[in-house]
Amino acid sequence: MRVRRIDADGDMVFGGGQRSYWRDQRDAPAQAVLSRLYLFLGEWFLDTDDGTAWKTRVLGKYTGDTRDAVIRSRILGTPGVTGIAAYESNLDREPRAFTVAATIDTQYGQTIVTGTFS
């Protein structure tokens, strides 16, 4: 699996040759998980059926029963991910933030994925 690296600011890394990619490392599926989670349903014009249903199944009213299932499904549907070893989420209504922390099993080893969505 080869994935172009993203820096701390969320920009793609260029100019480093092969060092600009995660190649057959556990960071490749981890980055792909975050990219899939940050993609809103219908946001990508080439596939409007892809994305996370943030507004209707994660952060909307009466979504307490569906939010974790949706996030877990997006994680498990990511290429290179073989399982979820640990999962934790927290919805903080005051700053309107949803935090996810997951230890995922990948075909290259285990790694931790964390993200805050607001």
pLDDT in tens, 41-52: 999 999 999 999
Could you tell me the pTM of the whole model? 0.90
Domain holding 63: CATH number?
A: 3.10.450.40
Helix (H, G, I), strand (E, B) or coil at 51: coil
Domain that holds residue 70: 25-117
How many domains would you assign to the chain? 1
Q: Is residue 41 part of a domain?
A: yes
Is residue 96 assigned to a domain?
A: yes
Beta-sheet pairing, 21-23 with 81-92: unpaired
The residues near 104 (Cβ < 8 Å, ≥ 6 apart) are 29, 30, 33, 75, 81, 83, 84, 85, 110, 111, 112, 113
pLDDT tens digits, 59-87: 888 888 999 999 999 999 999 999 999 99
Distance CA 104, CA 75 (A): 8
Decide if 11 is inside a domain.
no
